[in-house]
Chain A
Amino acid sequence: MNNKTKTRKVYLDYNATTPIHPEVKKTIIEAMEFYGNPSSLHEPGRKVRGMIEEARGKVAAFINATPEEIIFVGSGSEANNTVINLSSCPACGTCEASGCKTDKKIITSTIEHPCVLEAAACQKERGIRVSYVGVDKFGKIKIDEYQKLLKEKTALVSIMMANNEIGTIQDIKKLCQMAHEQGALFHTDAVQAVGKLEVDVKELEADYLSFSAHKIYGPKGVGALYIRKGAAFCPFIRGGHQEKGRRAGTENSLGIIAFGKAVEMRKKEMAAEFKRLSALKSLLKAGIEKNIPDIQFNGHPQDSLAGTVNVSFSGAEGETILLYLDMGGIAVSTGSACASGSLDPSHVLMATGVPAERCHGSIRMSMGRDTTDKDIDYVVEKLTKVIKRVREISSVSIGVNHG
C-alpha cells in the first residue's frame, strides 16, 4: 500500500457528490464573463436574467415541469426544508388544503435524509404532529402502515424517491396517489433520483419535488424545488422579489446556468449511463461475492439505483475499511457510527432492521459517469486485501464470544 508508484485513484462516492462535467465547466467559465445582477433593468442585468431563464427552462423540461413551477434554491437541503416548513405556516394554506386546521400532521419516513428528518423534528417543536412510516428489510415503504397513518388527517407527506445510502427506489406514483386520496399534499426528495432515473412530475402527480445540481455533475450550492402550479406555498427565505417572490436573495447565476447545462448533458447521457452502471454494479457485486466471505448486501435487490452498492462485512469496521481503501486511492463512504462523529450507526440501515454490528461494518460504493470496469477490477482486488487485513486485526474474526 505504500509503494511510490502512482496509485490509481478511484472515486466511488458519486452519491455524496459528483465531479463537474467538462461541458458544464466550460459553461461556467464562459458565464463568468457575465456579472450583471439579474434583477437589474440594464443590459448586463438583462443578459444574466436571460441566461437564468434559459437554464430554468432546461431544468423544468428535464422533469416535465413548466418553468414557472421551478424555483432555484441554495441546495437540496434548502428545497426540502422549504417544503417541510410549509406545514407550520398558518398563511400558506397547506393545512387548509387538507382541511385539518386544528390538527396538523405530516408523514415522513424513517429513512429520509437528515435535512428532512430534522426539519420535521423542528416542526414537532412547533406543535405539528409528525408520523414516521417504517420500511421493510429492503428499504421499501411499508404500504399497510402508510395507509393506516394516512387515515388520520394529514397535511403533508414527504417521502424520498431513492435512498442515498442503500439506493432503494420507492413507488412514488403510488405513494403520492394514496396521499392525494386522503387530501394530503405530497413532496418527494428526489435528490438521488433526478439524473439517474427518468423523473416526470406530471406522471408522478407530486406537489413538490426537490433536486440538486451537484449530484448530476453540476456545481455545489444550487438546488431546485418544483412547486406544482396551484400548490400551496410560502417562502422560506424572505425579503426579495427573486424567483417571483418565492425565494429571496440574489440568484446564484453561475450555479443556475451551470445547472441548466448539467441537465442538458444528463439528458444526452443518462440512458446509456444507466445501462453501463447496471453492468458495473453486477460486476462489482459478483467480484465481492466471489472473493470475500461473510458479506451481506444491503438495499433492494432490484429496485435500487444502478450505481449504488451497499455492503456489510462482518468482523470489519467501516471507518477502518474506508481509511485503508483511501490509502489505496479508493474513495467510499460508510454507515459506521465511528465515521459520523455520533454514537449511532446509519439510521437508514437500522431502519431496515440491519443489526448494529452489521451497520458498523457497512460500506457504500456509488459509481458514476467516470467509473470504468478496470476501476471495478482494481476495487475488488484492493477491497479483498483490505478486508483480509482488517479482519486479521479484528477481535471478532477469531470468534471471541462474550455475552
Chain B
Amino acid sequence: MDKPNEWLYTDKVKDHFMHPRNLLLDEEKFQADGRGVIGNIKCGDEMIVVIKVDKKTNTIAQCKWKTYGCASAIASTSVLSEMAVGKTLEQAYQLSSRDIAQALGGLPEHKIHCSVLGDKALRAAIDDYYTRNGQLDKVKQEKEHIICQCLGITDSDIEHAVLEGARTYLELQERTKAGTVCGKCKDKSLKLLEEYKAKYFKEEEL
C-alpha cells in the first residue's frame, strides 16, 4: 500500500496542510460571533476557532481558525472549517473527531488527538455564541473535572490518553501520570477509561 516515498499523511491532509482554507488572518476585522480556544502549546497543539452565525437560519455562515501544531492539526482544523459552514449550530455541535479524520481520508492513530481538538474548539465557539446571546440553556460546554488531585489530571486528559491508544490502567498512567502519587483516584480513572473506550472504539478495535 505504501509507496516508498509516500507521505505520512493522505493527499487530502497534504492539500489542506499546504493550502489551509479559511485561515483567520485578521481577528479584529473578522468580528466573531463566537470564539473557542482549545489545547495548550506545552502539549504541542493549540487552536482558535471563530464563527459568524446567520441568526435567521441559526446556521454557521463563516468559520475561521488558527492552529499551532503539526500537519494533521493544521489540516484537521482547515477541513473542519469547511465542514462547519452551512450547518445549523446543533448539527455543527455534533461534528466529531471521527468525522474530521474521515473527511481527511484517515489519520495515523497517534495523530487523532489533534483532530479531536478541532471539533472541541468549534463546540467552544458555539457555546461562546450561545453565552453572548443569552441562550445559556443551550450551553453544553464540556467542563473539565480534575480526577487525579495530586497531579491535576482531568477527565479530558484521560479522554485524550484513550484516544491516543491507552487501553489499560497502566497505559493510562504511562501517558497521563494519573494516580502515580497517592493512587486514590484509581477507581474514578478506571471508570472513565472504560467509558471513553466504549465511546470512541468498537469492541473489535480494542
Question: Which A residues fall within an 8 A CB radius of B?
Answer: 1-2, 315-317, 319-320, 323, 327, 336-339, 341-343, 345, 355-357, 360, 392-398, 400, 402
A315 to B110, alpha carbons, bound, how many Å? Answer: 22
Query: A320 to B70, Cβ gap below 8 A?
Result: yes
**The residue from A323, A342, A398 contacting B17, defined by CB atoms under 8 A apart:** A323
Tell me which of B20, B66, B70 contacts A319 (CB under 8 A): B70
B67 within 8 A of A: yes
Give Cα A323 to B16, complex, Å. Answer: 13
Query: A317–B69 contact, CB under 8 A?
Result: yes
A1-B18, A398-B66, A400-B37 as given contacts; A320 in contact with B44, CB under 8 Å:
no
Q: Which one of B42, B48, B110 lies within 8 Å of A395 (CB-CB)?
A: B48
Q: How far is the CB of A147 from chain B (nearest CB, A)?
A: 31
In the assembly, what is the distance between CA of A342 and CA of B113, in Å?
Answer: 12
A interface footprint on B3-38 (CB within 8 Å = 1, 0 otherwise):
000000000000001101001010100000000010
Bound form: Cα–Cα A394–B68 in Å: 4
Are A338 and B43 in contact, with the CB atoms below 8 A?
Answer: no
Most-contacted residue by chain B among A336, A339, A393, A397 (CB, 10 A): A393
A320 touching B46, Cβ below 8 Å: no
B23 touches A360 (CB 8 A): no
Check A393 against B70 for contact (C-beta < 8 Å).
no
Using a CB–CB cutoff of 8 Å, the interface residues on chain B facing chain A are 17-18, 20, 23, 25, 27, 37, 40-48, 66-71, 73-74, 110-111, 114, 164, 175
CA distance A341 to B110 in the complex (A): 6
**Given A319-B71, A338-B44: A393 touches B23 (CB 8 Å cut-off):** yes
Interchain CB contact under 8 A, B175 and A343: yes
Are A323 and B71 CB-contacts (below 8 A) given A343-B164, A398-B66?
yes
In angstroms, Cα B18 to Cα A299, docked, is 31
Bound-complex Cα distance A394 to B46 (A): 8
Residues of A within 8 A of B40 (CB): 402
Question: Residue of A at shortest CB range from B65?
Answer: A395
Tell me the interface secondary structure of chain A in the complex: loop
Main secondary structure of the interface of B (DSSP, over half): mixed
* Alpha-carbon distance A402/B38, docked complex (angstroms): 9
Q: A356-B42, A356-B43 are in contact. Are A395 and B67 (CB under 8 A)?
A: yes
In the complex, what residues of A have CB within 8 A of residue B73's CB? 317, 338
Identify the 9 closest CB pairs spanning chains A and B, nearest first.
A338-B70, A319-B70, A395-B66, A394-B68, A357-B41, A360-B44, A356-B42, A396-B68, A395-B48
Contact across chains for A393 and B41 when beta carbons are under 8 A apart: no
Determine whether the beta carbon of B66 is less than 8 Å from that of A337: no
C-alpha spacing A377/B46, complex, angstroms: 32
> Taking CB as reference atom, which chain A residue is nearest B27?
A398
A192 to chain B, nearest CB (A): 26
Contacts A319-B70, A320-B74, A393-B74; A327 near B37 (Cβ below 8 A): no
Complex Cα distance, B72 from A338, in Å, reads 9
**Residue pair B110, A393 in contact (C-beta under 8 Å):** no
B67 and A339 within 8 A (CB): no
Contact A393 B44 (CB under 8 A): no
Pick the contact of A337: B27, B37, B44, B46 (CB < 8 A): B44
Complex A-B: 19 CB contacts under 8 Å: A1-B18, A2-B18, A316-B68, A317-B45, A317-B68, A327-B18, A343-B43, A343-B164, A356-B43, A360-B44, A393-B23, A394-B67, A395-B46, A395-B47, A395-B68, A398-B27, A398-B48, A400-B37, A402-B40
Query: Which chain B positions have C-beta within 8 A of A336?
Result: 44, 70
Given known A327-B18, A336-B44, A360-B44, contact A393–B67 (CB-CB < 8 A): yes
Complex: A394 Cα to B114 Cα, angstroms: 14
How distant is the Cα of A397 from the Cα of B24 in the complex, in angstroms?
12
- Closest chain B residue, CB of each to CB of A357: B41
- Whole-angstrom CA separation of A400 from B18 in the bound complex: 24
Q: What is the CB-to-nearest-CB distance from A245 to chain B, in angstroms, rounded to a whole number?
A: 39
Contact A392 B23 (CB under 8 A): yes
**How near does chain B come to A306, taking the closest CB pair, in angstroms?**
31
- A339-B70, A345-B44 known; 9 other A-B pairs, CB under 8 Å? A319-B71, A320-B74, A336-B44, A338-B69, A338-B114, A393-B66, A395-B47, A395-B48, A400-B37
